[in-house]
Amino acid sequence: MHKEFKVTFEPSGRTVYVLPGTILLEAADRAGFVIETPCGGMGTCGKCLVRVTDGDCPVCAHSRKVLSDDQLAGGMRLACQCKVETDLTVEVPESSLFQVGHQILQSDTGETVVLNPDVKKRFLNLVPPSREDGRSDVERLEAASDCAVDLAVVRDLPSILREQDFSVTATVLRDRIVRVEAGDKTDCLYGMAFDVGTTTLVGTLIDLVTGADMVVVSCMNPQTSFGDDVVSRIKKCRDEADGLSQLQGCIVEAVNALIADAASQTGIRTDDIMSVALSGNTAMQQILCGIDPKALGEIPFVPVFRETLKSTCSRVGLTAHACGEVMVFPQIGGFVGGDTVAGILATGMDRVEAPVLLVDVGTNGEIVLAHDGRLIATSVAAGPAFEGARIINGMRATTGAIEKVVLNHDVEVNIIGDAKASGLCGTGLIDAVSALLRSGVMDETGRILDPDELSADVPNAIRERVVPTDGQNDFVLVHRDETENGEPLVLYQKDIRELQLANGAIRAGISILIQMEGLTPDDLHEVLLAGAFGNFIRRSSALRIGMLPAVPAERIRFVGNTASFGAKRALLSSDEAERAEQILARVTHVDLSLRPDFQMEFGAAMLFPEE
Amino acid sequence: MHKEFKVTFEPSGRTVYVLPGTILLEAADRAGFVIETPCGGMGTCGKCLVRVTDGDCPVCAHSRKVLSDDQLAGGMRLACQCKVETDLTVEVPESSLFQVGHQILQSDTGETVVLNPDVKKRFLNLVPPSREDGRSDVERLEAASDCAVDLAVVRDLPSILREQDFSVTATVLRDRIVRVEAGDKTDCLYGMAFDVGTTTLVGTLIDLVTGADMVVVSCMNPQTSFGDDVVSRIKKCRDEADGLSQLQGCIVEAVNALIADAASQTGIRTDDIMSVALSGNTAMQQILCGIDPKALGEIPFVPVFRETLKSTCSRVGLTAHACGEVMVFPQIGGFVGGDTVAGILATGMDRVEAPVLLVDVGTNGEIVLAHDGRLIATSVAAGPAFEGARIINGMRATTGAIEKVVLNHDVEVNIIGDAKASGLCGTGLIDAVSALLRSGVMDETGRILDPDELSADVPNAIRERVVPTDGQNDFVLVHRDETENGEPLVLYQKDIRELQLANGAIRAGISILIQMEGLTPDDLHEVLLAGAFGNFIRRSSALRIGMLPAVPAERIRFVGNTASFGAKRALLSSDEAERAEQILARVTHVDLSLRPDFQMEFGAAMLFPEE
């Protein structure tokens, strides 16, 4: 039996017992300290400094060469060279510990996140080969990094290593090196988070070194030209031999255009984007990855995968770095996909006790109820009315869109940008319908009344906007002299029916989840309103049309585009990506199509609530 | 504390203790039996039959449904459903054990190999989804196979699963499913082993279900048009921007042509080739994988990788199944590459004690000496003379090639195929030179004597074949009336100098390894002669020209194309692939360029030995 020496590490006080002659670096490793060794432990870089505060640790030749006399006298040693020959107490300075960032960031929804992405860059100063050291290039790199090397990296390795005398930057994805660059490139590392909506794509470019948002870019989902809801797109994949490849092709192209746009706006290289996180509903996620979505269109509506899907940019077809990782969010079931998991992640609903409701308003509406540690989720086909589609004068919330409508003596509208009115976006539509309800121009069935049915209180300016057509009535929101094209901007009776369908689907879904948990709206501690345009909906209007359950307005909180925010969290922190998996395991999926009460609830929810 | 029951498994007698209610399948698993469960343990397929020979095991509902009364009375039960409720003795029939083959094959070099490839096919009978069982397609497949599913598989999974009612064949690479086919396709699984020589490519198609060789195909390495040795090809990669991609492109194309050829000769689909093993010298392996070989051309000649490189057909560009595995043999150092590791593997040199020498004769000659558990290896640049190149009338060993030469009263030659002579292949060259030496037409310096210097014993018919030209002499091997083109087939003095260079390099390499181990030729227990054409060299001729050390002819054994045989072993058995890695760790590389004695040995070895 050899005698073992005790080595105590400060400030943590962790202690290990090692055999005489053990290198300090190894003792530290066994005590759980990962110490920087860019030179691969060859005693040349001086990064692995530790201070011996008690016990005798002879000065080794390398320490003498690299450290000053003062440092040596103060007990500083190179951990990679000095040996344990007696009991020691050793202090590990923060600066010697291997860490990329780990700063704490404030997240979009208020929660904090610790910066610790799956992908990191490390600067390595390798020892060049010599006649005495004939290790292969891969062995040399693996020894210095303690990571495996991908084939894609191996191909150009000899040139890159020799370009700046074996000083390189390795991009490490968990425990694999996926890219090697000559010299120190540690400050160029980016990720991109995407919310892949049925109607809208939103991308956020993130600096993975600082954790900062750099730019947000968005565009229409070009698949809308093949059908504006998920069901029509699944049908196309089922019915047409090249349906899937057409749909995948155009969405991948759109995502790539956003990547290029974000890079050009910020002056970064797309090749430095090493990580992409995608969240969307099950159909959107599957189609983007080229995964046949047909089973989502058949009973019992099973997704092809549920757990996080990890792939590479080249396999998915994205024009970030070919070996960059693509993380597709875990999917819950039916159409409840990665966007819902991302929403729960972003809002921290997996950690609340009191009943909290999350409503993500989009073409596919997702609803999650957290209660007593349980999470139940469903999706409803709201249709694209909230995103301005299927509305005759509908448009996205860009320049010229009416985003706010108030009825006093006459109609007052607010238009985005310095422009004349061109159309009506989702928030404007909700406002308009809510205002018509309040003013009595429309009844609870959604019917715009005949001018002669209107109460005497209705001002003439408003009354004159009601236009009878073919036995029903439309409503002029903006007169021709204030519109872009010189035609009156009309809200049609038919548009209101579209809104009723969208609104009713969401109302019915919310209602069923609340009933399943034995709750009433008033029990809800908070109602979180999410979605790309969620922040712009006026709470009073959403309450008036019944889109949200009847709670006091102050309990409604806008949480923004949680699908994007959740994807960002997963990019910024491997723990958050892991948490997404844990959320998946906890959510119960409610398939409304299996519930006999849904049709009845839906029918009732088509009516607007009484004032 | 719960009471545990003892379950003994026959015929092995292995025993485990389990809690009451444990499923028999789990108990068997803990005892180390992997039992077939194509239905994923749902009690429907009846493949997991076991016989309870002692103790009481109640008949479960599934067993009653699937098994006959006779079977039940005989103690047969479904292991996936029945529970342990008392001590039991259980017999596991061979037919219930999960195994692909595992038969023992006789290998090319006499050693046995257990068929257990890295890639296997498994037939799975999945339970279709239902309203009660909404698992995703991936979860369903993973649960039934206990393997992870690759993204490439996920894409078409929904259609394939539903094509034959959830009966599928999964191709499993270690623990990952890399392919899924509808129905039972377990009998179509192939691999291909390649010897990637500097001058010649040889491919062997193997049935991975039976372990049988199906066909051997070969062609010239098309890179020879860019230079006939490895050094000129490395130079091309270094000097020309697209040099590497040109060289890689043509070798990949040639390998693909061999794949297509082998498939068409045997009537299999190239898509059913799921595994490819490649062995060659370091430069050939690196170039084929598109890995920059420049560091092999610079001191200290380090390879880019040493350990086994695993990739996929699609990444390397091979037209077997895109997700098929490519295994590139581990490399030792300098030019001593995967072909040498494969040679050691094929011959079992890593397991011998007595001194054994392996000589692989090719454009790059590899030499390995096993002694006292040590393995030392080197490579020499022999040049392509042995493969018929750089010899004026040289050719490969195909129809029309002189493969044997004897001098009695006149020259007698043996020609391959029913043809007139067109040229001289490697074995014919060695024979011719050896015969000229023996007959005294050539001296030990390699000079063909003047006709008037010849001894009186030399028959006239031979004497007349010596043709003085420009102050030296050439030798007519075949007169014009017996050649294909009607011209005399001449062995030139210059050709003999080429052979001396090739022969001298190999002799010097052998000599240095033997000296390093303190041995003499007579200590060698065996000399193994390898190489695609090794089997055709006549031992007496090889000894006469000194290519092999002076041992009794019976100690020389022809072991054939060991680079191919080793690659085949790695395809057939994951243990053999693992053993290749172990060999790598044990071989010491001797870099002859670092040895001052090499030039002297080489100079001496240019002379042929005295009789």
Sheet-wide strand order for B489-491: B466-469, B472-478, B489-491
DSSP state of B543: H
Strand partners, B374: B371
- The predicted complex's ipTM stands at 0.73
Residues from chain B that touch A304, judged by Cβ atoms under 8 A, are: 136-138, 154, 157-158
Mutation for testing the B interface, residue in A131, A151, A306, A325 having most B CBs under 10 Å:
A151
Residues from chain A that touch B303, judged by Cβ atoms under 8 A, are: 136-137
By the 8 A CB rule, do A382 and A364 touch? Answer: yes
Q: What is the pLDDT of residues A238-283, one digit of tens each?
A: 999 999 999 999 999 999 999 999 999 999 999 999 999 999 999 9
Bond before A488 cis per omega within 30 degrees: no
Q: How far apart are CA A472 and CA A492, in angstroms?
A: 9
Overall fold of domain B5-96: Ubiquitin-like (UB roll) (3.10.20)
By the 8 A CB rule, do B117 and B191 touch? Answer: yes
Counting Cβ atoms within 10 Å, is residue B100 exposed (0-12), middle (13-18) or buried (19+)? middle
Q: Could you give the residue range(s) of every CATH 3.30.420.40 domain in chain B?
A: 338-384+499-605
Q: What percent of chain A stands above pLDDT 70?
A: 95
Length of chain B as a residue count: 611
Residues from chain B that touch A299, judged by Cβ atoms under 8 A, are: 131
Q: Would an 8 Å CB–CB cutoff place A155 in contact with chain B? A: yes
Contact yes or no for B315 and A158 at CB 8 A: no
If one compares B251 and A101, the residue with the highest pLDDT of the two is B251
> pLDDT value at position B279?
97
Contact yes or no for A154 and B305 at CB 8 A: yes
The SS3 call for residue A420 is coil
Residues from chain B that touch A151, judged by Cβ atoms under 8 A, are: 289, 309, 311, 315
DSSP state of B551: -
Q: Which residue of B has its CA nearest to A138?
A: B305
Q: Could you give the residue range(s) of every CATH 3.10.20.880 domain in chain A?
A: 104-182
Q: How far apart are CA A599 and CA A604, in angstroms?
A: 9
Q: Would an 8 Å CB–CB cutoff place B154 in contact with chain A? A: yes
Residues from chain B that touch A581, judged by Cβ atoms under 8 A, are: none
Contact yes or no for A292 and B156 at CB 8 A: yes
Q: Which of A136, A159, A331 sits opposite B303 (nearest CB)?
A: A136
Mean pLDDT of A533-555: 85
Residues from chain B that touch A160, judged by Cβ atoms under 8 A, are: none
Name the A residues in 64-93 with CB < 8 Å from any B CB: none
Residues from chain A that touch B155, judged by Cβ atoms under 8 A, are: 289-292
Strand partners, B333: B336
CA B213 to chain centre: 12
> pLDDT value at position B100?
35
Counting Cβ atoms within 10 Å, is residue B154 exposed (0-12), middle (13-18) or buried (19+)? buried
Q: Is B34 a residue whose pLDDT tops 90? A: no
Q: Is A99 a residue whose pLDDT tops 50? A: no
What's at A24, amino acid-wise? L
Q: What does each C-alpha distance from A153 to A139, A180, A269 come to in angstroms?
A: 13, 7, 19
Reported as type and span, the H/E element at residue A381 is: strand A374-381
Q: Which residue of A has its CA nearest to B135?
A: A302
Counting Cβ atoms within 10 Å, is residue B478 exposed (0-12), middle (13-18) or buried (19+)? buried
Reported as type and span, the H/E element at residue B71 is: helix B69-73
Q: Would an 8 Å CB–CB cutoff place A159 in contact with chain B? A: yes
By the 8 A CB rule, do A313 and A274 touch? Answer: no
The residue behind tokens 């397991």 is B351
Contacts of residue B301, Cβ cutoff 8 Å, sequence gap at least 6 = A134, B295, B333, B334, B335, B591, B593
By the 8 A CB rule, do B527 and B370 touch? Answer: no
Contact yes or no for B134 and A300 at CB 8 A: yes
> pLDDT value at position B107?
57
Confidence of residue B503 (pLDDT cuts 50, 70, 90): very high
Mean pLDDT of A576-594: 93
Q: Would an 8 Å CB–CB cutoff place B322 in contact with chain A? A: no
Contact yes or no for A315 and B151 at CB 8 A: yes
Least confident residue range of A113-117, B178-182, B483-487: A113-117
Token pair, residue A479, equals 């007169």
Mean pLDDT of B270-276: 98
Residues from chain A that touch B137, judged by Cβ atoms under 8 A, are: 295, 302-305
**A526-530/A489-491 β-pairing:** unpaired
DSSP B76-111: EEETTT-B--S-EEEE--GGGB--S---EEE-TTS-
Confidence of residue B37 (pLDDT cuts 50, 70, 90): low
Mean residue pLDDT across chain B: 90
Name the A residues in 364-403 with CB < 8 Å from any B CB: none
Between A and B, how many CB-CB pairs are < 8 A?
A: 124
Q: Which residue of A has its CA nearest to B137?
A: A304
Q: What does each C-alpha distance from A349 to A355, A356, A362, A380, A587 come to in angstroms?
A: 9, 7, 19, 20, 11
CA angle B409, B415, B417 (to 5 degrees): 150
Mean pLDDT of B199-205: 90
> pLDDT value at position B103?
46
By the 8 A CB rule, do A559 and A530 touch? Answer: yes
> pLDDT value at position A100?
35
The SS3 call for residue B288 is helix
Contact yes or no for B302 and A131 at CB 8 A: no
Q: How far apart are CA A513 and CA A520, in angstroms?
A: 10
Strand partners, B116: B573
The residue behind tokens 């699963």 is B161
Contact yes or no for B302 and A594 at CB 8 A: no
Contact yes or no for B306 and A136 at CB 8 A: yes
Q: Which of B130, B151, B158 sits opposite A300 (nearest CB)?
A: B130
The SS3 call for residue B541 is helix
By the 8 A CB rule, do A352 and A370 touch? Answer: yes
Q: What is the pLDDT of residues A400-444, one digit of tens each?
A: 889 889 898 999 998 887 789 999 988 899 999 999 999 999 999
Length of chain A as a residue count: 611
Q: What is the 3-state secondary structure (H, E, C) of B357-402?
A: EEEECCCEEEEEEEECCEEEEEEEECCHHHHCCCCCCECCCCCCEE
Contact yes or no for B594 and A131 at CB 8 A: yes
Q: Could you give the residue range(s) of every CATH 3.10.20.30 domain in chain A?
A: 5-96
The SS3 call for residue A338 is helix
Contact yes or no for A158 and B299 at CB 8 A: no
Contact yes or no for A299 and B137 at CB 8 A: no
To the nearest whole Å, the CA of A5 is away from the closest chain B CA by: 32
Contact yes or no for A302 and B154 at CB 8 A: no
Q: What is the pLDDT of residues B141-178, one digit of tens each?
A: 999 999 999 888 999 999 999 999 999 999 999 999 99
Bond before A11 cis per omega within 30 degrees: yes
What's at A265, amino acid-wise? Q
Q: Which residue of A has its CA nearest to B293?
A: A158
- Does domain B338-384+499-605 bear CATH number 3.30.230.10? no
Contact yes or no for A289 and B155 at CB 8 A: yes
Q: How far apart are CA A329 and CA A482, in angstroms?
A: 45
Q: How far apart are CA B429 and CA A492, in angstroms?
A: 96
Counting Cβ atoms within 10 Å, is residue B462 exposed (0-12), middle (13-18) or buried (19+)? buried
Q: What is the pLDDT of residues A115-145, one digit of tens each?
A: 899 999 999 999 999 888 889 999 999 999 9
Q: How far apart are CA A392 and CA A494, in angstroms?
A: 8
> pLDDT value at position B22?
81
User: In terms of CATH architecture, what is A104-182?
Assistant: Roll (3.10)
The SS3 call for residue B348 is coil
Q: Which residue of B has its CA nearest to A588?
A: B134
Mean residue pLDDT across chain A: 90
Q: How far apart are CA A215 and CA B248, in angstroms?
A: 41
Q: Would an 8 Å CB–CB cutoff place B242 in contact with chain A? A: no
To the nearest whole Å, the CA of A140 is away from the closest chain B CA by: 9
> pLDDT value at position B131?
83
Q: Would an 8 Å CB–CB cutoff place A292 in contact with chain B? A: yes
If one compares A242 and B14, the residue with the highest pLDDT of the two is A242
Q: How far apart are CA A360 and CA A336, in angstroms?
A: 11
> pLDDT value at position B102?
37
By the 8 A CB rule, do B122 and B149 touch? Answer: no
Mean pLDDT of A438-462: 94
Residues from chain A that touch B302, judged by Cβ atoms under 8 A, are: 129, 134-137
Q: Is B397 a residue whose pLDDT tops 80? A: no
Q: What does each C-alpha distance from A447 to A436, A450, A608 come to in angstroms?
A: 10, 9, 11
> pLDDT value at position A103?
45
Mean pLDDT of B546-552: 93
Q: Is A398 a residue whose pLDDT tops 50? A: yes
Token pair, residue B160, equals 């394939």
Contact yes or no for A159 and B294 at CB 8 A: yes
Q: Would an 8 Å CB–CB cutoff place A295 in contact with chain B? A: yes
Q: Which of B154, B155, B304 sits opposite A137 (nearest CB)?
A: B304
> pLDDT value at position B309?
94
Q: Is B105 a residue whose pLDDT tops 60? A: no
Q: Would an 8 Å CB–CB cutoff place A152 in contact with chain B? A: yes
Q: Which of A137, A293, A309 sits opposite B151 (nearest CB)?
A: A309
To the nearest whole Å, the CA of B245 is away from the closest chain A CA by: 11
Residues from chain A that touch B241, judged by Cβ atoms under 8 A, are: none
Q: Would an 8 Å CB–CB cutoff place A154 in contact with chain B? A: yes
Token pair, residue B575, equals 């243990």
Overall fold of domain A191-328: Nucleotidyltransferase; domain 5 (3.30.420)
Contact yes or no for B331 and A305 at CB 8 A: no
Mean pLDDT of B357-382: 92
